[in-house]
Structure 1
Amino acid sequence: MIALLLFLIPLIGGLVAFFLKEGNAARGWSLLVALATMALSIAGMKMINDPSAASFSQEWMGSLGSSFALSLDGLSGLLCLLTGIAYPIILLATWRSTYRKPGNFFGLMLLAQAGLMGVFLAKDALLFYFFWELALIPVYFLCSGWGGERRIPVTFKFFIYTFTASVLMLIGLLYLYLHTPDRSFSLESFYALRLTNDNQSFVFWLLFVAFAVKMPVFPFHTWQPDTYEQSPTAATMVLSGLMVKMGVFGLLRWVMPVVPTAAYMWGDTVTSMAVIGILYASFIALQQDDLKRLVAYSSIAHIGIIAAAIFSGTRSGNEGAVIQMFSHGVNIIGLWIVVELIERQFGTRRMSQLGGIAQQAPGLTIMLVIVSFANISLPLTNAFPGEFLMFNGIWNTVGSKFSALFTVLAGLSIILGAAYTLNMLQKVLFGASNERTAAGYRIRPVETLSLVLVVGLILAFGVYPQPLLDSASGFVDGLLKQANFSNLATK
C-alpha cells in the first residue's frame, strides 16, 4: 500500500495546488505534501523486504494484459527516497522565489514528483510508459511558462528530443509485449522472454536511445545545457537531480535484464559513447564562464561514468552506479542551490563578474566548498564510495578487451573535474571583491536549512555509505542473475 501512497500523495497534492491562488498558501501546501511524501519514502525503505506492504497490484487494462502494479525494491526504494528528500530541499532553497500563477507552478512541480515516483515503482511496461509521460509533461510547462528569455525555442528542442525518445521507447515496449506468450506487459513476462540476438539488438537500440536522451549520453545530450540554463531553478533541480535518473533507471530495470545478450554485444559501443561524452563534457566545462552551464556539463560527465559502469556487467560497477545515482542527485541539487543564491544576490552567473565572496559570506563559502568537493568525489564525501566502485567495475568489464583503456580515459574526468571545479571556486569565492560582491551575502535561515540538509547527506553517506550499499546489493544480485554477463562472456 505504501507504494501506492508514494504516487497518490503528490498527485492529489498537485491537483489541489492548482486551486490555491495565493503564493504563500501554494508554497506552504506544496512543502507539506513534499514532507509527507518524504516521510513515506523513508518508511518505504524499511518495508522493501515485505512484499505485502511494499507492493500494490490491481487490474488496470485487463484486455491488454496490463495491471496497475507498483513495488518497492532496493533500486526503486533508493530513488523514491532521493525524490522524497529532494523535493523539500528544493522548495526550501527556492522559498524566496516568486512566480506568477503560483498555484499552477507548484501544482506542476508536484505532478512531476508523482510521475517520478510512478516511473520508479512501476512493474508493468504500459504503466511505466504512462508515468514516464506524466513526469515529463509538467516539466515542459514549467520550462516554457516560467523560464528565461529563450525558453520557447529551448523548450521546443527539449520537447522534440524527449517526444522522439518516448516514441522509440513505446515501440520497443510494444515489440516486447507482442513477443510475450500471454500478451502481458508485466515485468516478469518481459524477463521471461528469450529473443533471438537480432531481435534483442533491435529492442536494445530502441530502448537505449530513449533512455540515453533522458540521461543524457553523448551524442544525445545537446538539449540539456540550454534547458538547464533557461528553466526556472526549481525545475532545473528536478531535471538534473531526479529526472536524469529516469534514464539510468530504465537501463537497469528495462534494458539490461530484458535484452542481456544485446547489452553484452553492444557494451563496448555504449561505453565508448559514454567515455567520449565524459571527456567532451569535461573539456567544455573547463571553458565555461556561466555557472549554470558549468554545472550542466559536469552532470553529463558524471552520468557518463554511471553508464559505463552499468555496462561493465560487474557487481562493483552496478552497485557503484546505483548508489551514485543517489549521491549525484544530492550533490547536483546542492550546486544548483548555491548557483541560485549567488545569481539572486549578485545578479549574475558569470564567474568573471564575481570574486571575493569568501571574505563577505563565509557561511556560503563553506557550503559551496563542501558541495564542490563532493562533486569531484573526494574521500569522506558521499560520491567517493560510488565512484570508487564504478571505476573498479569499469576496469574489470566483463568480456571487454578495452576495459583498461576505458578506465584510463574515464579516469581523466577526475583530473578535469578537479580542474574546472577548483577554477570555479577560485573565481567565485576568492580574490578581490568587486562592486557586485563587496556588500557580501548573508544566508537566510530557510536557505541555510536547505544547504545544511545537503551537506549533512554528503558527509553522512561519505563517512558511512553502508545503508546505500545494502539497498543496492539485493537489487544488483537479481540483476546479475538475470543478465548473466559472465556466462555470456564464456560463449
Structure 2
Amino acid sequence: MPWLSILMGVPVLGAVGVALIPKGREQLAKQLTLLVSLIVLALTVAMAVQFNPSGDRFQFAEKYSWIPSFGVSFGVAVDGIALVLIVLSAILVPIVVLASWREADQAGTVPESGAAAPKPKRSAKTYFALLLVLEAMMIGVFAATDVFLFYVFFEAMLIPMYFMIGSYGGPQRSYAAVKFLLYSLFGGLLMLVAVIALYVVADKNTFMFPELIGAIQDPNVQKWLFLGFFIAFAVKAPLWPFHTWLPDAAAQAPTGAAVLLVGVLDKVGTYGMLRFCLELFPDASKYFAPLVITLAVIGIIYGAIVAIGQSDIKRLIAYTSISHFGFITLGVFAMTRDAGAGATLYMVNHGFSTAALFLIAGFLIYRRGSQRIDDFGGVQKIAPVLAGAFLIAGLSGLALPGLSTFVSEFLVLIGTYERYIVPAVIAALGMVLAAIYILWMYQRMMNGPTAESVRNMPDLNGREKWVLAPVIAVIIVLGFYPKPVLDVINPAVHHTLQSVSVTEPQPAVPASADKKGAGQ
C-alpha cells in the first residue's frame, strides 16, 4: 500500500474540496477540513503501527520516475526519525483546525494598543484550504528520500505559510510575511546551488539520498556543499544568528499558523542537519562541529536572556524556541547516541510543548484583545482551568522532571557532556534561565490581583478543552514513559552515526576498574 503517497494526496484532495465549497458556507469548509485532517491522522497511526524498528532502515518506500533525464524521482520512505515527525504533524493539524474554528474568521493578533485588529484579506475557507496544503507539504518534506524532491517540498512549504501570515496575521503581517519569505528563499537558494553541485560532483545520475551517501570523498568539496545545506537549515531552524525572522513571524501569525510554524516547519531545519548534513558530508560535519556547537550554545543562552525581557507573549514564546533549537542543534552535532536520540525526541516534545503555549496564548489574546503580558493579571482566579493548562505547558517548556521536554533535554546534555564538557555545562544554564522567563511570565499573567480588563474573562469552553487535552496528555505521558518513541528513534540515530563513522566516547573510568573498585 502506498502509504506516504496517500498521506500526501488526501489533504491535497481535501484542500481542493474545501476550495470548491460555495462562498458563505464557511462552517461546511471547517467541518470538511477537520474530517480530512482526522482521516490523515488515522492513516498515519495505521502506518506507524506497521513500522518495524528492527527492520529495514527505510520502510514504506515508493519510487516513481519523475524527470528521468536528470535522475529525479518521486522517492519517499521513512525511518524512525522521519516517522515520529510525520506523526507530530498529523496530530497537530486537527488540533490547529479546532483551535482556529473562530479565530480564522478574524485577524490572528492585535496591536499592543488594544485597537481593533485588521480584517483578514481572504476568507476563512481559504485559510483552512491552506492548512491542508501545508499538511501535505510537511508530510512530503519528512518523507522525501530524493534530495531534489526534498528541496521542492522544502521550498513549497513557504507558499501556504506566507499567505497564512500575510493574509490572516496581525497589524504588521505584511512585513513579517515578507521577512519570513525572503530569509527562507535566501537559504533555499544556497541549498539549490549545493543540490546541483552534489548531483554533478557525485556523477551518479540520481538524487536518491541512500545512493548519494559516501559519494563525495573530497574533504574540501564536502565543506562547501555542507555550508550550502547547513545555512539553509540554520535559517529554517532558526539557529542564532539566522533567527531574526522568527520573532516577527510568530508574533504576527494567527495562532494556528504560529503552532505549525514553530512546532513543525522549523523542525525541518534540524531534521535536515541530522539527515543530510551528517550523512552526505561526514568529514565536513566533523570539521564544522565545534563552530556549530558554539553557535548552538550562544543560541541557548541568547534566546533565554532575550525572552526574559519580552513584553509580548508570542514574541517571548518565539525566543524560548530559539533557545530550544539551540539544544536540538547541540544534540545533533555532539554526534553521540544519547545526544542524537535526545535531539530527535526534543523535536517531537518541543512541537507539543510549544503548541500548547501558543494555543493558550491565542485563547488569552482572543479574550483580552492584547498580546501584552502586562495587560493580564490574576487570570487564575477567574479562569482556573486555563491557568492550570498554561502552568503545565510552561513547566514543560522549562523542562520540569515528569514532563516530556525534560527527558529530551537531559539526553542532549548527557550526550554532549560525553564529548564536549564545557559546552554541555554552559548549555545547562539555559535550564536555569528557562525557569526565570516561564515562571515570571506566569506570575505576571496568572497570579496577583485580577486586572479589571480580565475580570469577566471566561474559562476554557468545550472546544478549547478538546484542543488542549490531547496536547497536555502527550506532554505528561512522554514525560513519564518516552520508551515507545525512543525505541523507534534509536535505530535510526544509530544508522546515522554509523554513516558519519563516529565512535562513542569511552567512559573516564573503565568498566573493569569500576567493577574492581565495587568489589573492594
Same fold (TM over 0.5): yes
Q: Is the 8 A contact 1:151 1:230 kept in 2?
A: yes
What are the superposed Cα offsets for residues 216-251 of structure 1, whole Å, 9 maximum, x if unpaired?
Answer: 001100001001111111111110111001101111
1:479 corresponds to which residue?
496
Equivalent runs, 1:53-64 vs 2, <5 Å:
54-64=60-70
Shift of 1:328: 0.4
Within 1, Cα distance between the matches of 2:177 and 2:500? 37
Q: How does 1:353-432 map to 2 (within 5 A)?
A: 353-397=375-419, 403-432=420-449
Which residue is equivalent to 1:173?
195
Asked whether the 8 Å contact 1:47–1:54 carries over to 2, the reply is no
Aligned to 1:110: 132
The CA deviation at 1:192 is 3.1
Among 447, 467, 482, the alignment partner of 1:465 is 482
Q: Which residue is 2:9 aligned to?
A: 8
How far the C-alpha of 1:467 sits from its partner, in A, is 0.9
TM-score, reference length from structure 2? 0.91
How far apart, CA to CA, are the structure 2 residues paired with 1:47 and 1:121?
Answer: 16
**Cα distance between partner residues in 2 of 1:487 and 1:264:** 14
Q: Counterpart of 2:74 in 1: which secondary structure?
A: strand
Correspondence for 2:270? 248
* C-alpha distance in 2 between matches for 1:381 and 1:210: 32
- Name which of 83, 92, 108 aligns with 1:86: 92
Aligned counterpart in structure 2 of residue 437 of structure 1, from 454, 457, 460: 454
Within-5 A mapping of 1:14-25: 14-20=15-21, 21=23, 22-25=25-28
How far apart in 2 are the matches of 1:23 and 1:484?
54
Q: Is the CA contact (8 Å cut-off) linking 1:211 and 1:247 kept in structure 2?
A: yes
Tell me whether 1:73 sits opposite 2:79 in the alignment: yes
Q: What's the offset of the Cα at 1:488? A: 12
Q: Distance in 2 between matches of 1:438 and 1:157?
A: 37
In structure 1, runs of 5+ residues without a counterpart are 398-402
Alpha-carbon deviation of 1:477?
1.2
Superposition pairs of residues 171-210 of structure 1, within 5 angstroms: 171-210=193-232
Note the 1:223-372 alignment, pairs <5 A: 223-372=245-394
CA contact (8 A) 1:360 1:440 kept: yes
Amino acid at match of 2:77: S
1:69-90 deviation per Cα after TM superposition (whole angstroms, max 9, x unaligned): 1112101110000000001111
Question: How many angstroms does 1:433 deviate by?
Answer: 0.6
Of 25, 41, 44, the residue aligned with 2:44 is 41
Q: Contact 1:13–1:110 at 8 Å: present in 2 too?
A: yes
Question: What residue identity is the alignment partner of 1:328?
Answer: H
Offset at residue 487 of structure 1 (A): 9.1
Structural RMSD (CA): 1.6
Secondary structure of 1:54 counterpart: strand
CA distance in 1, matches of 2:341, 2:367: 40
For residue 28 of structure 1, what is the amino acid of its counterpart? Q
Within 1, Cα distance between the matches of 2:432 and 2:493?
29
After superposing the two structures, state which structure 1 stretch, 98-107 or 220-229, moved more. 98-107
Instruction: Please tell me the residue identity of whatever aligns with 2:252.
Output: Q
What is the distance in 2 between the residues matched to 1:263 and 1:95? 44
Distance 1:194 1:356 in 2: 60
Deviations 1:120-160 (A, max 9, x none): 00010111111112211111111111111111122211111
The one-letter code matched in structure 1 to 2:474 is L
Cα distance in 2, alignment partners of residues 116 and 370 from structure 1: 27
Please give the secondary structure, in 2, of the residue aligned with 1:436.
helix
What TM-score, normalized by structure 1, do the two folds share?
0.96
Would the alpha carbon gap of residues 168 and 328 (structure 1) be closer, same or farther in structure 2, given more than 3 Å must change? same
| Counterpart Cα distance in 2 of 1:238 and 1:119 | 14
Indicate if the aligned counterparts of 2:378 and 2:447 stay in contact, CA closer than 8 A. yes
Distance 1:251 1:40 in 2: 28
Change (3 A) 1:218 1:98: closer
Instruction: Name 1:400's counterpart in structure 2.
Output: none
Question: Which stretch shifts more, 452-461 or 143-152?
Answer: 143-152
Whole-Å separation in 1 of the counterparts to 2:400 and 2:232: 32
**1: distance between equivalents of 2:373 and 2:177?**
26
Cα distance in 1, alignment partners of residues 492 and 504 from structure 2? 19
Distance 2:426 2:218 in 1: 33
| CA–CA separation in structure 1 for the residues paired with 2:44 and 2:412 | 26
Question: Is 1:256–1:263's contact at 8 Å kept on the other side of the alignment?
Answer: yes
Q: Provide the C-alpha distance between the structure 1 equivalents of 2:505 and 2:377, rounded to a whole number of angstroms.
A: 55
- CA distance in structure 1 between the aligned counterparts of 2:368 and 2:168, rounded to whole angstroms: 21
**Alignment partners' CA distance in 2, 1:195 and 1:488:** 25
CA pair 191-382 structure 1, distance change in 2 beyond 3 A: same
Q: How far did residue 472 of structure 1 move?
A: 0.6
Determine if the alignment matches structure 1 residue 449 to structure 2 residue 454.
no
| CA-CA distance at 1:28 after TM superposition | 0.9
- Map of 2:112 onto structure 1: none
Shift of 1:54: 1.6
Q: Distance in 2 between matches of 1:94 and 1:3?
A: 26
How many matched pairs?
484
AA aligned opposite 2:17: V
